[in-house]
Structure 1
């Protein structure tokens, strides 16, 4: 079945409306809190404002080296949260949030392997040319929901299933859906930065700065939630094509 962008976005919105009471605490704990930690680390990193590209690369490398444990912990939390959202829809079936978290914990290592392999392949593709990286992203993005839906078949089957479901033009739709989420998040950050800049004239600068950090982390949390919902929506939309 060929995906269409409007349909995937509409389905993701419907999923949010249906399960937002459970999605909010998941997003708050596993997306917002790690994003806030990363935002605070970046805010205190002391990146030079007028750095050359070489100086900026050196500053970023030094930042990762100094904060590697915190960055890894934040990424693990986000990965766990993404898998929790997938399990909420594919393994929920009337289960409580605690039971969904338990399922996520028991199956997290295989999911983490899928997450890491897909990330490495994506990075390798980008290092060659941009297009191969984007192609790999689109063709592997449904591996995670495939594993959440059929965990008993293992990670290898999940990659195969994700590859099948993203065949044809579907990978382009998946990439476009992800890009829409990124663009909306960036626009929200720009708009909020302007508004918070205006707020700084009314309140103490430190207060406006704290509000800015919190708002940025909220937008990041919403973006990660959106990514997970888009995966669920796209996987379900490709269901009729399997076995045909």
Structure 2
């Protein structure tokens, strides 16, 4: 089956509309809040633009060492939230937010193991001129949706099923997701820049980082929801499954 971009996009928007209460509740607590707290309390590395590769490695190593716990905790919470959102979106489920959170917690370790395995496959491709890695990533992008829909406990089987469903559609998925990510990145950068300017003018040039971080976290969360719904819609189109809620 060939991917229909318009059908996938419309399907993604329909999924978000049909499950808006669940995904907003989950995203607010497990995506938006961790992003905001991380941006507010963890200082990013300061670069002058003149660092060589060794200096960059040293700066980021120090950054990760100083903030390892915060980085690990925020990523773990956000991974859990992302998986819970997929449980809310898949065709086989029409459960409460509490049920979706419980299911996500139950399968979180399997999800992390599957991501680790897919990362080991994607990384060599990224090192080979990037494009092969992006292609491999798109072939394995359906892992969380398959996990949520079928509750498969074997991480290797999740990789196999995603690879099978995306056959002959790897580059089509890559192009579709790239469009969303490029447009999303432009919108995020524009809104963050406007927010920074307006807040800077309102505070005499000093700025108010809470407002800037709040807007950045909100836009990033919305973008993540759209991307998750797009991936779920791709799965529905390629698998031929339909949600009763649509």
Counterpart for residue 188 of structure 1: 187
Structure 1 residues 121 and 10: alpha-carbon distance in aligned structure 2, compared to 1, 3 A threshold = same
Secondary structure at 1:49 match in 2? coil
Counterpart for residue 73 of structure 2: 73
Secondary structure at 2:19 match in 1? helix
* Alignment pair present for 1:93 and 2:61: no
Secondary structure at 1:201 match in 2? helix
What runs of 5+ residues in structure 2 fail to find an aligned partner? 242-246
Aligned-residue offset at 1:152: 4.1
Deviation by residue 1:132-163 (Cα, 9 ceiling, x = unmatched): 21121011101221121112463222211110
Structure 1 residues 122 and 205: alpha-carbon distance in aligned structure 2, compared to 1, 3 A threshold = farther
- The answer as to whether partners of 1:125 and 1:131 remain within 8 angstroms in 2 is yes
Structure 1 residues 91 and 102: alpha-carbon distance in aligned structure 2, compared to 1, 3 A threshold = farther
Deviation by residue 1:147-204 (Cα, 9 ceiling, x = unmatched): 2111246322221111011111x11222223222322232122212332233111235
Structure 1 residues 205 and 120: alpha-carbon distance in aligned structure 2, compared to 1, 3 A threshold = farther
Structure 1 residues 68 and 236: alpha-carbon distance in aligned structure 2, compared to 1, 3 A threshold = same
Aligned-residue offset at 1:101: 0.9
Structure 1 residues 206 and 181: alpha-carbon distance in aligned structure 2, compared to 1, 3 A threshold = farther
* Alignment pair present for 1:48 and 2:47: yes
Structure 1 residues 30 and 143: alpha-carbon distance in aligned structure 2, compared to 1, 3 A threshold = same
Q: Which has the higher helix share?
A: 1
Structure 1 residues 79 and 46: alpha-carbon distance in aligned structure 2, compared to 1, 3 A threshold = closer
Give the number of aligned pairs. 239
* Alignment pair present for 1:33 and 2:33: yes
Counterpart for residue 127 of structure 1: 127
Secondary structure at 1:48 match in 2? coil
Q: Distance in 2 between matches of 1:101 and 1:40?
A: 26
Q: Distance in 2 between matches of 1:61 and 1:87?
A: 35
Counterpart for residue 232 of structure 1: 232
Structure 1 residues 109 and 35: alpha-carbon distance in aligned structure 2, compared to 1, 3 A threshold = same
Counterparts in 2 of 1:193-208, with a 5 A limit? 193-199=192-198, 200-205=200-205, 208=208
* Alignment pair present for 1:175 and 2:162: no
The alignment's TM-score, normalised by the length of structure 2, stands at: 0.87
Deviation by residue 1:9-62 (Cα, 9 ceiling, x = unmatched): 2211111111111111111111112222342356x2341233324233322222
Aligned-residue offset at 1:100: 1.3
Q: Distance in 1 between matches of 2:44 and 2:93?
A: 44
